[in-house]
Structure 1
């Protein structure tokens, strides 16, 4: 099926290239030193961050002098890896739950309850659960380590999408089991397990791949929604913005892209390139995923026609 999908390969190549570069570059080159100012002797002028894109800093720097190219390259692998782990965890648990407890998810009461939760944003649920754990007082450190922070975030983000996704898988499996060949298999004495393995799963797998692509995009969107409220994947570092702490600065620990967008959103009216660079990178990632998902959907539609 995938051999005929050129667009799918384009998305795969783009996604793999981004991930490969993100792993290799930070290991080959050290992070550029932060420069608080630059003095140009020929022009007798003083320049302070943020520095515009140049041969020294390909993407420029932020207001603290941090190199944006290194930050983008370093954060790409975390953004992709976190989204992949959350998507895989959701798909695996929802697949098992949707097939094992199919009758439960098809029950009118349970289905109606889950249908109502679809109108509640997942970002709101996750924010209410995680905020008390990660927003600590200024001048104090978080009581959770980096690993503990990451594990709790992954568990909550996975759990937030399991039940709606399991409902979709259960409904899809039930729809496939209504086909005529499945009915014939039932009359011939096939068990539910045999019907699931031989007749439902072969037609369910392609739909699961499409559903995985949609989930990946939804997880990236969810990460961006959480980042707007300073809840960054991997943890948040809170520092004082002024002497008397009237304003706080929220920084991402892992350099993941949604955290960078949230960190630099104030620069939109001051130095737009600082925030637009992570925005463009995030947009390209969404584009890669959508290209692959749309290609799979078209292939699935063609198979349904024939």
Structure 2
């Protein structure tokens, strides 16, 4: 195994291990987790009520509980697949479609590419969260009752994927153009290499590492968008609006939005009104978000650090190669000089 292998890169391994552990635990909990009916009251040995839900953090509830007595540990584990899993899926499809569209742009005439570049550059300054909210809200918020859970998951994924494809495709097209200007590309063209051969043998090997790094960065960006949408009461997987109180005199009702999938952004938003009274109800999902983004940044740092290491290794090996070439050159010149004298 090479010394610069990612498996020996501690930040990369720690970040990947943390995310994989959350995802595996979430799917196993959904398949084999016991659905225990929560209890809103805690009793002592004598059967006396000692606490009412929500319960503060303790040995029985390490991260506290919600209003119904559900442990936040299990709620966060259950929602991990809808938070991290969907973020990874959205980032993956963003890279795939952006790569295909970027290569298509790269093959277009320069005049058409300039037109698209001008249009795509405007999206750099567009408020992505607002556009996403306007497109997703009718399905997962306003008319949530008329759609099933799968629709309320797939539709937001499509919106989150499509809204970033123009910008990412432009980035990939610019990277392909920069690589295509290298001298060895001109040499390969002179030798008769076709367009597909040049892409497969010379362009793609330089582009793939950047795509991996871009993929990990996109996972972090999607998680941030999830958090923003949660604060706007748009929950991935659907919003369950419950009646919390009824005024007996006027008949007015007080409602509250709840996440139907326990995704972390929804847990933050639905428990935010209780942030001062029961702070653990907000701190638990916020901490889960922070640790996940920290793990993603650790993966990015590991990949970038590996690239830096490889560049340094190339630079440090250049003087040694130069010395070897100089010695060989000296031997050749010396031998030819001695033969001329003979």
TM-score normalised by length of structure 2: 0.82
Correspondence for 2:133: 127
Correspondence for 2:167: 164
Q: 1:232 deviation in Å?
A: 0.9
**Which structure: larger Rg?**
2
Correspondence for 1:286: 293
Q: 1:42 deviation in Å?
A: 6.0
CA contact (8 A) 1:22 1:74 kept: yes
Correspondence for 1:10: 14
Take 2:309 and 2:43, find their aligned partners in 1: how far apart are those partners?
63
Q: Unaligned regions of 5+ residues in structure 1, if any? A: none
Correspondence for 2:177: 174
Cα deviations across residues 48-99 of structure 1 (Å, max 9, x unaligned)? Answer: 2111122332322112322212111111122121111101111110111101
Correspondence for 1:58: 62
Correspondence for 2:226: 223
Closer, same or farther: CA 226–271 of 1 in aligned 2, 3 Å: same
Cα deviations across residues 152-188 of structure 1 (Å, max 9, x unaligned)? Answer: 1111111111111111111111111111111211222
2:23 is aligned, of 19, 39, 45, to 19
Correspondence for 1:232: 235
CA contact (8 A) 1:19 1:76 kept: yes
C-alpha root-mean-square deviation of aligned residues, in Å?
2.2
Closer, same or farther: CA 199–36 of 1 in aligned 2, 3 Å: same
Count of equivalent residues: 303
Take 2:266 and 2:275, find their aligned partners in 1: how far apart are those partners?
15
What is the SS of the residue equivalent to 2:125? coil
Closer, same or farther: CA 125–188 of 1 in aligned 2, 3 Å: same
Take 1:105 and 1:266, find their aligned partners in 2: how far apart are those partners?
55
Correspondence for 1:267: 274
What is the SS of the residue equivalent to 1:212? helix
Q: 1:203 deviation in Å?
A: 0.7
Correspondence for 2:334: none
CA contact (8 A) 2:82 2:261 kept: yes
Correspondence for 2:73: 69
Q: Unaligned regions of 5+ residues in structure 2, if any? A: 315-342
Closer, same or farther: CA 105–85 of 1 in aligned 2, 3 Å: farther
Matched, 1:101 2:101: no
Matched, 1:91 2:95: yes
Take 1:37 and 1:14, find their aligned partners in 2: how far apart are those partners?
34
Cα deviations across residues 208-266 of structure 1 (Å, max 9, x unaligned)? Answer: 00000110100111111111111111111111232145542111111111111111122
2:263 is aligned, of 256, 259, 267, to 256
Range with greater deviation from structure 2 (37-46 or 250-259): 37-46
